[in-house]
Amino acid sequence: MARSKPSSRRSPSRWLATLLATTSMVSSAQAVYYKIGTDAEIKESARTLAYDLMLQYKGNQTGEIPGILPGPPTEHKGDYYWWEGGAMMGTYIDYWFLTGDPSYNHVIMEGMLHQTGPNHDYMPPNHTASLGNDDQGFWGMSAMLAAENKFPDPPEDKAQWLALAQGVWVTQANPDRHDGTCGGGLRWQVPPTNMGYNYKNTIANACFFDLGARLARYTFNQTYADYASENFQWLWDVGYIDHEDWRVYDGGHVEANCTDINKAQFSYNAALLLHGSAFMYNYTNGSALWKDRVDNLLDGMKRDFFADGAAFELPCEGRKGACTADMLSFKGYVHRWLSTVTKVAPHTKPIILPMLRKSAEAAVKQCTGGETGRKCGFYWTGGEYIDVAVDKTSGAGEAMSVLAAVSSLLIEKTPDLANNITGTSRGDPNAGSRSRGVIEPLEPITAGDRAGAAILTILILGIAISTWGWMSFAE
Ligand SMILES: *[C@@H]1O[C@H](CO)[C@@H](O)[C@H](O)[C@H]1NC(C)=O
Ligand SMILES: *[C@@H]1O[C@H](CO)[C@@H](O)[C@H](O)[C@H]1NC(C)=O
Ligand SMILES: *[C@@H]1O[C@H](CO)[C@@H](O)[C@H](O)[C@H]1NC(C)=O
Ligand SMILES: *[C@@H]1O[C@H](CO)[C@@H](O)[C@H](O)[C@H]1NC(C)=O
Ligand SMILES: *[C@@H]1O[C@H](CO)[C@@H](O)[C@H](O)[C@H]1NC(C)=O
Ligand SMILES: *[C@@H]1O[C@H](CO)[C@@H](O)[C@H](O)[C@H]1NC(C)=O
Ligand SMILES: *[C@@H]1O[C@H](CO)[C@@H](O)[C@H](O)[C@H]1NC(C)=O
């Protein structure tokens, strides 16, 4: 995932934007195109939103590559990086689960299978040059979702959803992705030569954590839960989750032993930790430890990202043009993940469902743009459409977010998520080990290990400091 560093300047503008929007609304009140009052209206609106978003996808046309949105920007092929195709596949896997409309299932199946890479672990050689653990993780989470939602299984001779999710997890659990710097955790990038390999960030770890929590709940295999617990503990210990108010920060660099924390709060980081924690809560039969994490992260989400009712991308939304194409899609994941939290941690329903409804109402209200008069933008709190051109994209992330917000309103009507008794997807705990080694069960960490890790850290830190002068804070 590639994104530019947000400015640390605080935006003055949330109240200003609201004020401007309120005054301009008086003069240019436009009819709301999308109605979401009843289930039938929600389905009809979601159907149109899904149709419009699909117009941005070229992957099922002759000569185009299945699974991806036009891109990557680095090759001047379009606005979107590889990972966002995987996120879009997940959005349609949920769309089908929520609405029952199978219109796009064949397109999604094709895209999901085309991008698996030769070892069925979502590391296709075409994309290694920008392969982050988070990019791979987003595809893995979409495969996991297909298993949980009982999305139609691929043909027998193709990779299967559960095995694909396990393949991603196994490559990420492998010792070669874990080193002693910062006391543990995954790095952002996979190949050491990639820019950003020196950054250990929340999203890379949150993807691995979430996948582990979901595999544990699905398969009842404690090994996944052990890794997930350890990973969350690391995020806590290193201070990426604030110990006072549970704000979730972006990451830090190994040269500084991850103490140079970039405190930008992207909504998807907090939402994904909440989502994974809810699966751990469910897997542990409602443990107090995970309930506490779920409840605190949810309080933080509500406070920081829904202060004005609608989802708000805190680090960049205050200034037009400051959110990257990646960031413009985060609200959609927030809505989908929060809605799923209500299924596996039902006590959160009375808080989450009204939040999501209010936010979805704001989302559709601004979908009055373009020639169709129903194009959606990114700025939900303002109440009116702002041309997606201000953020220099064609609007796929913006459209995907509104589709997610609307379709997720049907979450209460969906069946329970499958597990390996009620589900149909075939797994393979050794998937992914063709590219990588064997996963050892976790032993409790001893004082000796910690000392060893510290020595390693000091060594690496020494090397890093000597190269400090020319190393950029690449992100
Ligand atoms: C691509 O998928 C869309 C949506 O299902 C469909 O309408 C269109 O005909 C497909 N195009 C091709 C070339 O298969
Ligand atoms: C890899 O890139 C080539 C050239 O653009 C393309 O033909 C091929 O379909 C791509 N493969 C995948 C799995 O995306
Ligand atoms: C590096 O950070 C980790 C995690 O916060 C900590 O346990 C370790 O002691 C630190 N190492 C050094 C050399 O400061
Ligand atoms: C579910 O997974 C567990 C542990 O991975 C395994 O022991 C069990 O046989 C699986 N059950 C089914 C029905 O596949
Ligand atoms: C949850 O409860 C079930 C049924 O009592 C039990 O079999 C299972 O081991 C429990 N899971 C955990 C992680 O404690
Ligand atoms: C776990 O999830 C199921 C639905 O999948 C739900 O019925 C159950 O209440 C959840 N467990 C806890 C402890 O909330
Ligand atoms: C549980 O998962 C681990 C990690 O992939 C695997 O090594 C082990 O074989 C699995 N156990 C069972 C019973 O499936």
Task: Please say if the pLDDT value at position 255 is more than 80.
Answer: yes
How crowded is residue 303: how many other Cβ atoms within 10 Å of its Cβ?
12
**Ligand 3 atom nearest residue 238's Cα:** 5
Contact 210, 141 (CB under 8 A): yes
Task: Please say if the pLDDT value at position 416 is more than 50.
Answer: yes
Q: 200 CA distance to ligand 3 centroid (A)?
A: 13
Task: Please say if the pLDDT value at position 167 is more than 90.
Answer: yes
Q: 234 CA distance to ligand 3 centroid (A)?
A: 11
Closest Cα to atom 3, ligand 2: which residue?
A: 126
**Structure confidence by residue, pLDDT tens digits, 102-160:** 999 999 999 999 999 999 999 999 998 889 999 999 999 999 999 999 999 999 999 99
* pLDDT for the residue 441: 60
Task: Please say if the pLDDT value at position 28 is more than 80.
Answer: no
Q: 475 CA distance to ligand 3 centroid (A)?
A: 22
Average pLDDT over residues 165-181: 96
* pLDDT for the residue 452: 37
What letters, b where the CB count within 10 A reaches 16 and e where it falls short, cover 13-45?
ebeebeeebeeeeeeeeeeebbebeeeeebbbb
If you average pLDDT over every residue of the chain, what do you get?
89
Cis peptide before 72 (omega within 30 of 0): yes
Task: Please say if the pLDDT value at position 456 is more than 50.
Answer: no
Sign (positive or negative) of CA dihedral 300, 333, 81, 117: positive
**Ligand 6 pocket, 285 CB below 6 A?**
yes
* Number of residues in the chain: 475
**Structure confidence by residue, pLDDT tens digits, 313-354:** 999 999 999 999 999 999 999 999 999 999 999 999 999 999
251 token code pair: 């990451």
Q: 127 CA distance to ligand 3 centroid (A)?
A: 33
Q: 318 CA distance to ligand 2 centroid (A)?
A: 38
Query: Given pLDDT bands bounded at 50, 70 and 90, which one contains residue 3?
Result: low
* pLDDT for the residue 232: 98
- HSE-CB for 70 with a 13 A CA cutoff: 15
13 token code pair: 């503008």
**Structure confidence by residue, pLDDT tens digits, 279-297:** 999 999 999 999 999 999 9
**Ligand 5 pocket, 285 CB below 6 A?**
yes
Closest Cα to atom 7, ligand 6: which residue?
A: 344
315 token code pair: 């680090």
Query: Which residue bears the tokens 């994904």?
Result: 272
Query: Given pLDDT bands bounded at 50, 70 and 90, which one contains residue 439?
Result: low
State percent of the chain over pLDDT 70: 85
Higher confidence at residue 18 or residue 251?
A: 251
Ligand 4: list residues with CB < 6 Å: 219-221, 420-421
Task: Say which DSSP state 35 is in.
Answer: -
Select from 272, 312, 294 the least CA-distant residue to 134. 272
* pLDDT for the residue 129: 85
Q: 104 CA distance to ligand 1 centroid (A)?
A: 8
**Ligand 5 pocket, 283 CB below 6 A?**
yes
The DSSP code sequence of 66-112 is TT--S--GGGTS-S--HHHHHHHHHHHHHHHHHH---TTHHHHHHHH
Q: How far apart are CA 120 and CA 280, in angstroms?
A: 26
Task: Please say if the pLDDT value at position 370 is more than 70.
Answer: yes
Average pLDDT over residues 404-410: 98
* pLDDT for the residue 311: 98
Contact 99, 149 (CB under 8 A): no
* pLDDT for the residue 433: 75
